Structure 1
Amino acid sequence: MKKILILINLLFFSVCYAQTSTKEILLLHSYHKGYKWTDEISSAIEKEFASYNNINLTTVYMDTKRVSNKIYYEKLYELYKEEFKTRKFDVIIASDNSALEFLIEYQKRLFPNIPILFCGINYFDESILEKNGMKKYVSGVLEQVDLEKNFELISKIHPKLKKLIIINDKSRTGLIMKEDLEKIFPKYRKKFKIEYIDDMRMNELKKVVSKTDKNTALLFVLLFKDKTGKFFTYKQSLKQIKSLAHVPIYGLWDFYLNYGVIGGLLTSAQAQGEAVSKMAMKVLNGTDISQIPILKKSPNRYIFDYNELKKFDINIEKYLTNYKIINRPFSFYRKYKILVNITIITMVIFIILIILMKANINRRKKLQRALSNRLEFDKVLLDTIPNAIYYKNVDGKFIGCNLAFADLMQLPKHDIIGKTAFELFPEDIAIKNTQVDEKILKTLETDTSEMALHFSNKEIKYFILNKAVYKNIDGRIGGIVCIMDDITERVQQKQFLIQQSKLAEMGDMVAAIAHQWNEPLVELSAQVQDIQTSYLLNELKDCQVEEFVKDSMIQIQYMSRTLNDFRNFLKPSTKKVIFLIKKALDEINEIIGKQVFYSNIDMHFNYIDGEDLVIYGYENEFKQVLLNLINNAKNKIMENQSEKRGNIIINISKEQEYNIIEIIDDGGEIDEKIISSIFEPYFTTKTDGTGIGLYMAKVIVEDKMHGFIKVKNFEGNVVFTIKVPYKKD
C-alpha cells in the first residue's frame, strides 16, 4: 500500500513539474534589430508568448543584410556553439531564409534533434529539407508575395494608367522577384507600359522618378543596394524615392508602410509571427513537429496608408471589401457610427412622425371606413356565391365560411368557427380531409379531390373540393381555403347514363338469355315427354321420378342463375371493391357465351400472368364495360363475317400498378377518320345506336375507376386496351 501511495505522489509531482517547468525557445533572425520586418515578427511572437510565465524566449540576430558568406556562417557557428553549449531549447524559430539555411546546415552540431519552425521564407524549395535528414524536424509558414493580385489591384484603381515603374535591386530576393515579375509582364503590357529598374545609381533613379506624370504609378519591390553597391536601409531608400515622386507608390511588404507607400496586398510580418507562434505552442504542448504541416499559403493582407489614399484621392471601398487602413485620424462618427446613425435615424423618424401624425390619423379613419365597407362587401359576396366555401388555420380549425357552407352543415356560421373536420364530417372523410391538408401545407400546391356526404334524410351529395394554401401579409402560411363544387347532379346524370347504357344492352342480353335457356328448355321438354310415356305404359318407377326431379332441378337452377346474373348486371355498384377479373369475365361469359358461340364466333380467354389478378373498382359497372366491348366486337364480326368462324381474344396481364385487359376481334379495322371520336358522347355509326355505350365505358374506367381505355387498329384487328388499378386509392 505504501509503494502505491509513493507512486501516486511521484506521478502527481511529475505532472505538476511538467506544468510549471520552463520552456526554452530560441528565435533566430536572419536580419538585424531595427529592420522593421524583423522587429514586427519579433513583436508578434513576443506578444503571443507574453501571457505564459513558463516560456523563456531568447532572440538572436544574424545580420545577413550586411554580411552574408560562408566564412561569416562558420564564425556564427563557432559563436553559437560557445554561447549555447549549456542551453537546451524546446523549439527553435527561424525568421527568413538565411536563418533557416543556417540551421539546416548546423542543426546537427549545434541543436541536435531540436524541432525547427520557420517564418518569412521566400521561394521555398522543399527539397532543401532533405539535406542532413532535416525533413522530420522542420515545419513553418511561407512568405509568398502575390504579384498577380497587386497588378490587378493597381490596374483597377488606375484604369487610365499609361506607365508602371517597378523599382527592385539585384539582391538574392530581388533576382527571384524579377523572375516572377517577368512571367506577369506579357499580360499587363497590353494595358500599360512597364519600366523595370534594378541597375541604377540612386541619383539616376531619383531623376527617373522626378519626371513621372499623373498617369504613372510606382511599384516599390526592394532597394537595399544600388548599382554602386551602396547599402540603404528600407527607410532610406524609400524616403529618397518618395521625396521626388508625385505619383502613387505601391508595395509588397508591410514594413514599407508609414514611409510613403500607399499599400497593397502586403506580406505581413505580424501575420507571419502570429502564425509561427501558434505552431510553436502546439510543439510545446506535445504535438510532434512531423504532424504539423507547412502553411504554404502566405497570410497576406490588404493594408493601406490613410494619408497616401487621401493624398491621391483614392476611395479603396470601391475596389475591396476586406482591408485594413492605418493612420486613419480619429473620427467620432466612424468610431460610434452605429450609435450616430441610430440617433439620426431616430430623430428623423420622430420628426416625420410628428409632421405626419395628423395626416396619418385622418388617413387611418378613412382606411378603417374603407376596410369596413370592403369587409361587408366581401361578406355579402361570399354569402352570395352558391358554392360552399370555408377556410382553416394551419392547426386545422375552421376560422370562417360562407352561408352556403353553413347551410350545408345545418349550423350557424359562428358555431362552425373553432371546430375541426372531425367535428363536422364523418371520421373517414375527416381523416382523408386532414391528410390532404397536411400534404398541401408542405408542398404549397393546390389539390382537387372528391367527397360524398350522407345526410340524416338519407340524401347523398357529391362534391369536388378545390383546396389551396393562403399566406398572411408577412409571408407566413395562414391556412387553407376550400371551395366545394356540388356535382351531385352530374354524378346522378352519369349514373343515369350508365343505367341507360345498360338498358341499351338489354336487347342483346335478352337474346343471350334466350340462347342460354333454349338448351335447358329442350332438355326439360324431353324429360317431361319421357316421364309421360312411362306413366302411360305403366312402367314408371320411383327411381325414374327421382332422376327426373334431379335433372329438372339442375336445368331450373341453371336458368335461375342466368336470371340472377342478369339482375346483378342491372344493379348499380354503390362502392369500390376488390374483385377477381376472372370472376367478372366468367359471369359475362355465362350471360353471352352461348350467344357468341352460336354466332359462329370463338371467344378465348388468355390469363397471361395467372387467373388471380384483381381490380379495385365498381364491379357491376366494369362488367357493363366488358359486356359492351364484347357485344360490339360480336356485332362487328357478324356484320363482316364470311364462312369461317370469327374470333374474340381476351388477354389478361399485369403491369406495375395496373392490370391490363385487351379485347381483340377480327371483325375488321375501324375507319381511321373516326377512331379518335368513338368515345365521344352520342357518337355512333349505327342507324339505331345511342352513342353512349363507349362514352360510358370511358367514364366508368377513367373517371370512376381512375384507369385508362384506348383503341387501335393492329394488323387488320381492332384492339381495345383497358388499364385499371388493382390497389386502393
Structure 2
Amino acid sequence: MKYFLLFSILFFNYLFADQSKEVLLIHSYHKGYIWTDDISRTIEKNFDSHKNIELTTVYMDTKRIDDSTYLYNLSKLYKQQFEGRKFDLIIVSDNNAFDFMIKYHDYLFKNIPVLFCGINNFDKVLLGENDMYKYMSGLAEEVDIEKNFELISHMHPNLKNLLIINDTSSTGSAIKRDLNPIIEKYQNRFNIEYTDNLEISNLQDKVSNLDKKNSVILFVLLFKDTTGKFFTHKQSFEEVRKVSQVPIYGLWDFYLHSGIVGGLLTSAVAQGETVSKMALEVLNGKKITDIPILEKSPNLYMFNYDELKRFNLDIPDYVENPIIINEPSTIYKEHSKFFIITILIILILSIIVVILRANIIRREKLELELSNRIEFDKVLLDTIPNPIYYKNVEGKFLGCNTSFASLVSSSRNEVIGKTAFDFFPYKVASENTARDKELLLTFCTSTSEFTFYTASNEMKHIILNKAVYKNIDGSVGGIVCIMDDITERIQQKQFLIQQSKLAEMGDMIAAIAHQWNEPLVELSALVQDIQTSYLLKELKDDEVKEFVNDSMVQIKYMSRTLNDFRNFLKPSTKKKLFSISKSLSEINEIIGKQVFYSNIKMNFNYKNENEELLVYGYENEFKQVLLNIINNAKNKIVDKNLPINKKGNININIQRCQNFNTIEIIDDAGSIDEKIINSIFEPYFTTKADGTGLGLYMAKIIIEEKMRGTINAKNDGDNVIFTIKLPHKKA
C-alpha cells in the first residue's frame, strides 16, 4: 500500500508537470518591426527548451492604424478567435497592447494573469485605477534622454547645433513630452532644433545642410512622415544617414548596426529576456502579485566602432564597460579564436574517421537516387512539347528530347555527336554557332529567331532560348536550348494583318474613285473634242496624235493608281531598308485627293531637309499603319461637319533622332476620351458601330513586334498625336 501511494504521488506530479501551458503574446506593432521581432525572438528562444509551453503570437499593427473603431473591432475579432481557448498567461509588448489589455481584459481574458514589457512612461496609478494590480506585472521601457544629452555633450565639447528627429507616433509623442524639460536645460549650451513634421525629402535637405564640424543628430524615431508615407526603422534611418555628414546618436539598440554612433540604448532583447523569465515563474506556479514590477529599464552604453573611427570620437572615461560592436579583435582574442578553431578541427577530423563508413553507405544510396533521377529527367524532357537539346562547348549534341528528334526527322541516338550543320541549312547553322561562341564567353542568356524547312518541306518559325550550363566542378559544360515553335502564331498574325488590310479596302476604293474622277473628266472632254472635230470635218492628223498622247497620260495615271492599290495588298515577305518619304508619297497618291475633297489639309513636314530618312522593316505593313491612322483622322474630321470655309488639318512630322526615326501624325478633330485612350490599341476595341477593332491593334503588332519600334497616342488639347518611332538600321 505504501509503495502504491508513493507511485501515485510521483505519477500525478509527473502528469501535472507535463501539462501543456498556453501563452498568448500580443504585440502592439507588426512583424518586421525590429523592436517587436527582437522581443518575440527572445521570448521564443527562452520558451524553446520548455516543450509543454505552446506560444501563440498576434500583432495589433498599430503603427499603421490605431483609432478606437479599429481597436474595438480587434477586440471582437480576438473574442471570436480565442473563444474556445484557455490561456494560462498573456504577455503584451509596448504601450498600445498594454492599454488595449487594460480596457478589454475582463471582456477577453477575465482572471488570466498578464505580463507587460516595453512600456514607455509607465504609471502604477493606471493599474490601481483599473483594478489590475492583482492581474498584471512586468517591466517598463525607460529611455534615458538626459544621460544621452550628457553623453553627447562630453563627446562633442564644441557642439553648436543638435538636430532631434522624431515622429508623431504614440511612442514619439511620449518621448517628446520627456524631451521638453531637457531641451530647456541644455538650450543655453548649444542650439537645439526639434522636428517631427517634415516630409522625408525636406528632412534630407535639412540634414545635408548641417554644419559638418559642430553639428550632431539625435535620431529618435521615424516611421511615418507628414505625407503619410510609412517606413521601416531601417528605411527611415538609411534615408537620413545617406545624406548626413555628421554623427548620429540614438535611443534604441536596433539602430546600432545601421550606423548610429551609439548612446545609452534601450534594448528589446533585454526586455524579452526579463519578461520571459517572469513568464516562466508564473507558469511554474508563482502568483502574479508576487512578481514585482520593474520600473528601471535595463539600458546599456553601446557604441559602433566604425562610426567612432569615422568621426574620430572617444568614449568618455565615466562610461564604464561599454559594449562596442565591430571592434577589431585584440591579439589575445585572435589567439583565443585560433585555439578554439584548432580544437574544433581536431574534433571534426576525429568525427570524420568515425563517419566514413556511414558516408560510403550514403554515397551508394545517392548513386541509386541519382540514377533514378536521370531516368526521371529523361521522361520529363520527353513529356515537354518544346524541342530541347543540350550540347558541349565544341557544338556537338550531347542529348535531346523526342520533340527535337522529331523536328529534325532523326532518332535520339542519331542526333548525339552531330552538330547543327548536320540538320539545319548552312546559313542558319553558321549564325547559331557564332551566337553560341559569344554566349560561352559572356555567360548570358540568348533569345533569337530563325526560319527553316523541315525534311517534309514544311516551313517552321522557331524561337531559340539558350543558356550556358556548368559542370559540378564549375567548368563550362556547354549550352542548353529550348525551342519555341511560333509558326502558327506568325501565320495567325499575318492573317490578322491581311484581315486589317481588307477592312481598309472600302476607304481604298473610295480613294481610287476620287483619283479616277479627274482623269475620267479629262478623257470625256478629249473624246467630245475629237468627236466635234470629226463631225465638222476639221479633224487633222496632229489633233489625233495629241488626243492619243493626252489620253495615254490619263490612262497611265489611272493604271499607276491600280498598281499602288495592288502593291498595298501584298504582304511584305522580308525586312528591308526603305524610304519614309517614298512610303508617305505613295500613301498620298492613294488617299491624297480623297483627303483634299473632304475639306482637309494634309501637310508633310520633314524636319531634316535634304536627308533621305530610312527605316528597317516591312514596307507594305508600314504603309498599312500610316493609312489606318490617317484614315481614322480623316473620318473623325469629317464627322465634325466643319463649315465649308473652315478646313480640318492633318499634320505629319518626320524627324531623325539618334537611334530612331520619328513620325508624328497630328489631327485637330478633337481629343480622345482619357478613359479609353489606353485601350485603343487592344484587339477588337472600337468606338465605331461598324468597326472591327483590328486596325490600331495590328498597327501596334506591326510597329512593336514585327519592326521593333514603338507606337503610342496622346492628347494635346483638342489635338491627337500618334507617335511612331522606328529604328533606322538593322537591329
Q: Distance in 1 between matches of 2:457 and 2:547?
A: 50
How far residue 536 of structure 1 moved from its aligned partner, in angstroms, is 2.5
How far residue 321 of structure 1 moved from its aligned partner, in angstroms, is 10
**2:679 pairs with 1:677:** yes
Q: Distance in 2 between matches of 1:458 and 1:534?
A: 65
Match of 2:500 in 1: 501
How far residue 377 of structure 1 moved from its aligned partner, in angstroms, is 2.1
Quickly say closer, same or farther: Cα 1:187–1:662, change in 2 above 3 A. Answer: closer
Q: Distance in 2 between matches of 1:594 and 1:459?
A: 45
Once the two structures are superposed, the pairs formed by residues 447-466 of structure 1 within 5 Å of their partners are 447-455=446-454, 457-466=456-465
Once the two structures are superposed, the pairs formed by residues 124-163 of structure 1 within 5 Å of their partners are none
**2:537 pairs with 1:538:** yes
Once the two structures are superposed, the pairs formed by residues 291-690 of structure 1 within 5 Å of their partners are 318-319=333-334, 353=356, 355-356=357-358, 360=360, 363=362, 365-455=364-454, 457-610=456-609, 611-643=611-643, 644-690=646-692
Gaps of 5+ in 1: 1-185, 194-314, 324-332
Quickly say closer, same or farther: Cα 1:626–1:457, change in 2 above 3 A. Answer: farther
- Decide whether the 8 Å contact of 2:628 with 2:696 is kept in 1: yes
How far residue 608 of structure 1 moved from its aligned partner, in angstroms, is 0.6
**2:724 pairs with 1:702:** no
Q: Distance in 2 between matches of 1:386 and 1:367?
A: 30
Quickly say closer, same or farther: Cα 1:715–1:344, change in 2 above 3 A. Answer: closer
How far residue 490 of structure 1 moved from its aligned partner, in angstroms, is 1.1
Quickly say closer, same or farther: Cα 1:558–1:348, change in 2 above 3 A. Answer: same
Instruction: State the one-letter code of the partner of 1:642.
Output: L
How far residue 475 of structure 1 moved from its aligned partner, in angstroms, is 2.9
Quickly say closer, same or farther: Cα 1:566–1:192, change in 2 above 3 A. Answer: closer
Instruction: State the one-letter code of the partner of 2:519.
Output: P
Aligned partner of residue 461 in structure 2, secondary structure = strand
Once the two structures are superposed, the pairs formed by residues 150-229 of structure 1 within 5 Å of their partners are none
How far residue 555 of structure 1 moved from its aligned partner, in angstroms, is 1.1
Match of 1:172 in 2: none
Cα distance per residue 1:204-243 (max 9 Å; x no partner): xxxxxxxxxxxxxxxxxxxxxxxxxxxxxxxxxxxxxxxx
Q: Distance in 2 between matches of 1:699 and 1:192?
A: 73
Q: Distance in 2 between matches of 1:189 and 1:532?
A: 124
Aligned partner of residue 577 in structure 2, secondary structure = strand
How far residue 549 of structure 1 moved from its aligned partner, in angstroms, is 1.4
Q: Distance in 2 between matches of 1:690 and 1:656?
A: 36
- Decide whether the 8 Å contact of 1:641 with 1:667 is kept in 2: no
Mean alpha-carbon deviation: is it higher for 414-423 or for 379-388?
414-423
Cα distance per residue 1:238-284 (max 9 Å; x no partner): xxxxxxxxxxxxxxxxxxxxxxxxxxxxxxxxxxxxxxxxxxxxxxx
Aligned partner of residue 504 in structure 2, secondary structure = helix
Quickly say closer, same or farther: Cα 1:189–1:524, change in 2 above 3 A. Answer: closer
Q: Distance in 2 between matches of 1:540 and 1:458?
A: 64
Aligned partner of residue 394 in structure 2, secondary structure = coil
Instruction: State the one-letter code of the partner of 2:559.
Output: S
How far residue 190 of structure 1 moved from its aligned partner, in angstroms, is 5.4
Q: Distance in 2 between matches of 1:189 and 1:506?
A: 93
Quickly say closer, same or farther: Cα 1:456–1:532, change in 2 above 3 A. Answer: farther
Instruction: State the one-letter code of the partner of 2:729.
Output: K
Instruction: State the one-letter code of the partner of 1:318.
Output: K
Q: Distance in 2 between matches of 1:547 and 1:412?
A: 74
Instruction: State the one-letter code of the partner of 2:625.
Output: V
Report percent identity of matched pairs. 66
Q: Distance in 2 between matches of 1:696 and 1:485?
A: 23
Q: Distance in 2 between matches of 1:606 and 1:534?
A: 47
Q: Distance in 1 between matches of 2:407 and 2:376?
A: 22
Quickly say closer, same or farther: Cα 1:189–1:415, change in 2 above 3 A. Answer: same
Quickly say closer, same or farther: Cα 1:539–1:423, change in 2 above 3 A. Answer: same
Quickly say closer, same or farther: Cα 1:473–1:415, change in 2 above 3 A. Answer: same
Once the two structures are superposed, the pairs formed by residues 260-271 of structure 1 within 5 Å of their partners are none
Match of 1:197 in 2: none
Q: Distance in 1 between matches of 2:628 and 2:319?
A: 85
Aligned partner of residue 523 in structure 1, secondary structure = helix
Match of 1:81 in 2: none
Cα distance per residue 1:36-65 (max 9 Å; x no partner): xxxxxxxxxxxxxxxxxxxxxxxxxxxxxx
How far residue 692 of structure 1 moved from its aligned partner, in angstroms, is 0.5
- Decide whether the 8 Å contact of 2:408 with 2:455 is kept in 1: no
How far residue 552 of structure 1 moved from its aligned partner, in angstroms, is 1.4
Q: Distance in 1 between matches of 2:348 and 2:471?
A: 29
Once the two structures are superposed, the pairs formed by residues 104-115 of structure 1 within 5 Å of their partners are none
- Decide whether the 8 Å contact of 2:408 with 2:454 is kept in 1: no
How far residue 690 of structure 1 moved from its aligned partner, in angstroms, is 0.2
Aligned partner of residue 520 in structure 2, secondary structure = helix
Quickly say closer, same or farther: Cα 1:523–1:418, change in 2 above 3 A. Answer: same
Q: Distance in 2 between matches of 1:576 and 1:386?
A: 30
Aligned partner of residue 572 in structure 1, secondary structure = coil
How far residue 343 of structure 1 moved from its aligned partner, in angstroms, is 12
Quickly say closer, same or farther: Cα 1:551–1:187, change in 2 above 3 A. Answer: closer
- Decide whether the 8 Å contact of 1:640 with 1:667 is kept in 2: yes
Quickly say closer, same or farther: Cα 1:387–1:192, change in 2 above 3 A. Answer: closer
How far residue 348 of structure 1 moved from its aligned partner, in angstroms, is 7.7
- Decide whether the 8 Å contact of 2:712 with 2:723 is kept in 1: yes
Aligned partner of residue 475 in structure 1, secondary structure = coil
Aligned partner of residue 578 in structure 1, secondary structure = strand
Quickly say closer, same or farther: Cα 1:574–1:320, change in 2 above 3 A. Answer: same
- Decide whether the 8 Å contact of 2:466 with 2:480 is kept in 1: yes
Cα distance per residue 1:365-414 (max 9 Å; x no partner): 54444333322222122112111111122333221111111111112222
Quickly say closer, same or farther: Cα 1:621–1:399, change in 2 above 3 A. Answer: same
Aligned partner of residue 595 in structure 1, secondary structure = helix
Once the two structures are superposed, the pairs formed by residues 229-244 of structure 1 within 5 Å of their partners are none
Instruction: State the one-letter code of the partner of 2:651.
Output: I
Quickly say closer, same or farther: Cα 1:563–1:321, change in 2 above 3 A. Answer: farther
Q: Distance in 1 between matches of 2:555 and 2:406?
A: 55
Aligned partner of residue 706 in structure 1, secondary structure = coil
- Decide whether the 8 Å contact of 2:407 with 2:454 is kept in 1: no
Aligned partner of residue 496 in structure 2, secondary structure = helix
Tell me the matched-pair count. Answer: 406
Q: Distance in 2 between matches of 1:653 and 1:537?
A: 59
Instruction: State the one-letter code of the partner of 2:579.
Output: L
Cα distance per residue 1:668-726 (max 9 Å; x no partner): 11111111110000000000000000000000000000000011111311110000001
- Decide whether the 8 Å contact of 2:409 with 2:455 is kept in 1: no
Instruction: State the one-letter code of the partner of 2:424.
Output: F
Q: Distance in 2 between matches of 1:191 and 1:683?
A: 74
Q: Distance in 2 between matches of 1:595 and 1:674?
A: 29
Q: Distance in 2 between matches of 1:691 and 1:341?
A: 74
How far residue 636 of structure 1 moved from its aligned partner, in angstroms, is 0.5
Instruction: State the one-letter code of the partner of 1:381.
Output: L
Quickly say closer, same or farther: Cα 1:319–1:665, change in 2 above 3 A. Answer: same
Mean alpha-carbon deviation: is it higher for 649-658 or for 545-554?
545-554
Aligned partner of residue 660 in structure 1, secondary structure = strand
Once the two structures are superposed, the pairs formed by residues 246-285 of structure 1 within 5 Å of their partners are none
Aligned partner of residue 677 in structure 1, secondary structure = coil
Match of 2:717 in 1: 715
How far residue 351 of structure 1 moved from its aligned partner, in angstroms, is 6.5
Q: Distance in 2 between matches of 1:710 and 1:599?
A: 26
Q: Distance in 2 between matches of 1:321 and 1:655?
A: 67
Q: Distance in 1 between matches of 2:701 and 2:348?
A: 68
Quickly say closer, same or farther: Cα 1:456–1:590, change in 2 above 3 A. Answer: farther
